[in-house]
């Protein structure tokens, strides 16, 4: 029930706050609705999650293009998908949950096939952030204490969601009081036909990347930057997602579909195109730009129709895709990868924007 409501008006849109639910300990979870002239996005304080993004198809019909749940209890019950969440302190995997920094070895919780995934057993996705309305959006703040999930340093995180015409922009700002590693990303699942409208296998994907980071049987990068040329991972030209997903390829077999990191062109920190997705049914196009060096393209391989929450809402395999802009998985254990180290006195800023448009038939 939406119990309380405040509205902050800005030049290009509005920001509305309401209560979305309560944690088991009684803490309130708020949801912020951001509206521009082109899209509507809803962001909640539990996991700093994107709950919905509504945008128009080629006929002007609005629909929600991200997966999620209609009620808060669905998110509480679902401990595996990370729908819409900011994942951290380290998004993606760290091998065996171990890394060394400044001569000290750190042990993280193991929660995925012998590795540490998305920050550990109690990651940023399962915490209540502090929300604050800002111009055209909301700022989510979280302070992760020293030794939280085994990571060194007190980390202060600000994630700002803002809407501008047909775009949702995410800005990440992090700082620490001790040497640490950090890799934040958003784990939204997109289906440009609309939530619940079949699979994404007929959508077209373009990823302007010449290399990807192949993985071992536990989905840890081998350290090699492999060329996409001649492989099912070549999306340099728009390609139907389902056209090669079942090919006899060891990397596809390991993940049960696409779930690997692409090495984006351009320097780390420079704005670059990470991906472009086109849905021929609705005409919707989503263009992803980022300052991050990589993007993890995931085809929802682990979604299996499990019902969650009182509404028993479920999502099937390949019913959505993720484009997680990020540093490479397991970077702390691969010195040749772009570094994820953060030192006291540094403030790291990264940005990702999801821009929506349409194509005529």
Is 324 marked active-site?
yes
CA-CA distance, 219 to 116, in Å (whole number)?
A: 11
CA-CA distance, 223 to 96, in Å (whole number)?
A: 15
Q: What are residue 332's phi and psi, to 5 degrees?
A: -60, -20
Asked whether 10 and 136 are in contact (CB, 8 A), the reply is yes
**Looking at 158, 324, 327, 334, which residue is catalytic?**
324
Question: Which residues have CB under 8 Å from 112's CB, separation 6+?
Answer: 93, 219
> What end-to-end distance do the CA atoms of the chain give, in Å?
40
SS3 279: coil
**Rg of the chain taking only CA atoms, in angstroms:** 19
Token pair 């409501």 is found at 5
DSSP 166: T
**Looking at 187, 315, 327, 334, which residue is catalytic?**
187
- Residue 94 to residues 37, 117, 307: CA-CA distances in angstroms? 41, 7, 29
Asked whether 19 and 30 are in contact (CB, 8 A), the reply is yes
Token pair 């990264």 is found at 350
Half-sphere exposure (Cβ direction) of 137: Cα atoms closer than 13 Å: 19
CA-CA distance, 290 to 275, in Å (whole number)?
A: 9
Is 349 marked active-site?
no
Give DSSP secondary structure letters for 14-61.
EEEEEEEEE-TTS-EEEEEEEE-SSEEEEEETBTTEEEEEEEE-TTS-
Catalytic site positions? 187, 324
């Amino acid at each position: 029930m939406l119990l309380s409501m405040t509205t902050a008006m800005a030049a290009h849109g509005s920001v509305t706050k309401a209560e979305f639910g309560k944690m088991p300990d009684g803490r309130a979870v708020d949801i912020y609705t951001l509206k521009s002239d082109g899209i509507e996005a809803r962001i909640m304080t539990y996991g700093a999650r994107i709950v919905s993004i509504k945008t128009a198809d080629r006929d002007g019909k609005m629909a929600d293009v991200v997966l999620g749940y209609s009620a808060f209890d669905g998110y509480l019950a679902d401990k595996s998908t990370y729908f819409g969440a900011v994942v951290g302190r380290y998004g993606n995997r760290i091998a065996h949950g171990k890394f060394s920094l400044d001569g000290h070895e750190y042990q993280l919780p193991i929660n995925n096939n012998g590795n540490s995934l998305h920050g550990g057993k109690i990651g940023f996705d399962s915490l209540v952030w502090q929300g604050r309305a800002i111009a055209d959006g909301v700022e989510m703040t979280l302070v992760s204490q020293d030794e939280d999930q085994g990571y060194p340093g007190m980390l202060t995180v600000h994630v700002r969601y803002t809407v501008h015409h047909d775009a949702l922009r995410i800005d990440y700002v992090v700082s620490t009081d001790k040497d640490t590693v950090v890799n934040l990303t958003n784990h939204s699942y997109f289906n440009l036909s609309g939530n619940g409208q079949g699979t994404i296998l007929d959508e077209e994907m373009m990823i302007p990347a010449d290399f990807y980071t192949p993985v071992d049987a536990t989905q840890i990068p081998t350290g090699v930057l492999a060329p996409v040329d001649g492989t099912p991972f070549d999306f340099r030209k728009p390609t139907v997602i389902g056209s090669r997903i079942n090919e006899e390829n060891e990397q596809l077999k390991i993940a049960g579909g696409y779930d690997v990191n692409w090495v984006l062109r351009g320097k780390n920190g420079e704005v670059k195109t990470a991906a472009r997705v086109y849905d021929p049914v609705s005409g919707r196009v989503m263009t992803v730009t980022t300052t991050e060096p990589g993007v993890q393209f995931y085809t929802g391989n682990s979604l299996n129709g499990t019902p969650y929450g009182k509404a028993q809402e479920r999502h099937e395999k390949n019913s959505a895709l993720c484009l997680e802009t990020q540093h490479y998985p397991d970077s702390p254990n691969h010195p040749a990868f772009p570094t994820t180290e953060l030192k006291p006195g540094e403030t790291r800023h990264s940005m990702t924007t999801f821009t929506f448009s349409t194509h005529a038939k």
